[in-house]
């Protein structure tokens, strides 16, 4: 039977985020879809009222997914961490520059990391980054790595533009609109974290434990590529929060987690409805959740590290606090990680 990890010497020693260059409000996005909304007799303000997303950040259309992650990593290294210390690199984005080579190899080259660095793409829908942190920590715990760079970058603009184009087609139906509705929530951004030995960084946030579960029978609820994404939003919400509850209960049984364990909840965020339902189902205080969806939308695997950096910037991550890094990804899969600020 698979065992869940407890970590004793792994910490997040550096982190940074990168924001999209352009700001697209939900009202402007609805204006672009105006002819279809009017033809289908849908209410105005539907996008913001149903999602709670006011705006999202976007990169230029021709930017590959790697660029946001590279920009975040460069910002991370500019804070003082020596990049020559990195021996592993995991690119965890949903988007990839090419089917081959690996996006990780492009990031490795762009950052000037040496030939001894082991790099690879690690994908798990919106959970890729948390899984990257777990893999990095496991290698450090086993003495196989010292410093691992986990990176994610997402450029949602091409998919968003394709979705708008398809929904403006005269044959688009109400069903088409809502099948593609989740695509309209997507935002762009980049994030990077370095996991290293806690004994060398005693003040760094320490990874404590992790729990995960999957429900692969529901892999059909959200499927997409660069051309578009079709989502059963209601089915995904119901199945997703059910899996999240089971995962949290798994952590409760193994590590003693309770709804009051975590001072801050740093999670992947899809919309206001999903986020509120997530907190309600797990019994979490929504006041402890660091919100980013209203201004940044759904950033996929970028969301958790991006939100972590924003919470740090706001002074919310302080000594003695316990953080819950949590997410649900299409597939379905769920991962949760406990972090302690010493």
Q: How far apart are CA 251 and CA 222, in angstroms?
A: 26
pLDDT given at position 290 = 97
pLDDT at 226 over 80: no
Q: What is the mean pLDDT of residues 290-305?
A: 97
pLDDT, tens digit (0-9, with 9 covering 90-100), for 84-95: 999 999 999 999
pLDDT at residue number 1: 77
State residue 225's pLDDT score.
84
Percent above pLDDT 90 for the chain: 97
Q: Where are the domains of the chain?
A: 200-340
Residues with Cβ within 8 Å of 168's Cβ and at least 6 positions away in sequence, in order, are: 33, 35, 36
pTM value is: 0.96
pLDDT for 173-186, tens place per residue? 999 999 999 999 99
- Active-site positions read 100, 126
**Averaged over 9-19, what is the pLDDT?**
98
pLDDT at site 227: 82
Q: Are residues 223 and 230 in contact, defined by beta-carbon separation less than 8 angstroms?
A: yes
User: Residue 131: what pLDDT?
Assistant: 96
pLDDT mean across residues, the chain: 96
Task: Report pLDDT digits (tens) over 76-86.
Answer: 999 999 999 99
May I ask the CATH architecture of the domain 200-340?
3-Layer(aba) Sandwich (3.40)
CB-CB neighbours of 28 under 10 Å: 10
Distance CA 5, CA 10 (A): 12
CB atoms near residue 31 (< 10 Å) = 11
Residue pLDDT, tens place only, 247-279: 999 999 999 999 999 999 999 999 999 999 999
162's enclosing H/E stretch is helix 157-167
* 299 DSSP assignment: -
């Amino acid at each position: 039977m698979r065992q869940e990890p407890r970590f004793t010497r792994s910490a997040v020693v550096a982190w940074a985020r990168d924001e999209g260059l352009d700001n697209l409000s939900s009202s402007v996005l609805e204006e672009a879809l105006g002819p279809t909304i009017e033809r289908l007799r849908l209410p105005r303000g539907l996008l913001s009222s149903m999602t709670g997303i006011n705006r999202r950040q976007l990169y230029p259309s021709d930017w590959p997914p790697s660029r946001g992650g590279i920009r975040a990593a460069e910002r991370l290294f500019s804070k003082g961490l020596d990049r020559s210390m990195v021996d592993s690199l995991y690119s965890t984005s949903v988007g990839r520059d090419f089917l081959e080579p690996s996006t990780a190899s492009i990031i490795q080259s762009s950052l000037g990391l040496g030939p001894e660095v082991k790099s690879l793409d690690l994908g798990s829908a919106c959970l890729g980054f948390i899984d990257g942190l777990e893999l990095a920590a496991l290698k450090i715990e086993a003495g196989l790595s010292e410093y691992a760079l986990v990176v994610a970058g997402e450029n949602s603009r091409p998919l968003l533009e394709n979705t708008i184009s398809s929904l403006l087609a005269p044959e688009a139906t109400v069903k088409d609109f809502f099948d593609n509705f989740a695509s309209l929530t997507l935002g762009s951004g980049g994030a990077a974290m370095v996991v290293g030995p806690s004994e060398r960084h005693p003040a760094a946030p320490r990874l404590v434990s992790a729990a995960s579960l999957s429900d692969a029978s529901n892999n059909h609820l959200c499927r997409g590529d660069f051309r578009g994404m079709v989502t059963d939003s209601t089915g995904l919400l119901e199945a997703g929060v059910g899996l999240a509850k089971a995962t949290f209960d798994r952590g409760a049984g193994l590590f003693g987690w309770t709804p009051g364990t975590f001072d801050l909840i740093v999670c992947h965020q899809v919309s206001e409805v999903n986020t509120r339902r997530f907190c309600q189902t797990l019994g979490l205080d929504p006041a402890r959740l660091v919100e980013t969806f209203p201004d940044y939308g759904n950033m996929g695997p970028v969301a958790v590290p991006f939100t972590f950096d924003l919470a740090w910037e706001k002074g919310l991550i302080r000594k003695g606090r316990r953080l819950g890094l949590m997410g649900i990804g299409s597939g379905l899969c769920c991962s949760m990680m406990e972090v302690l600020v010493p």
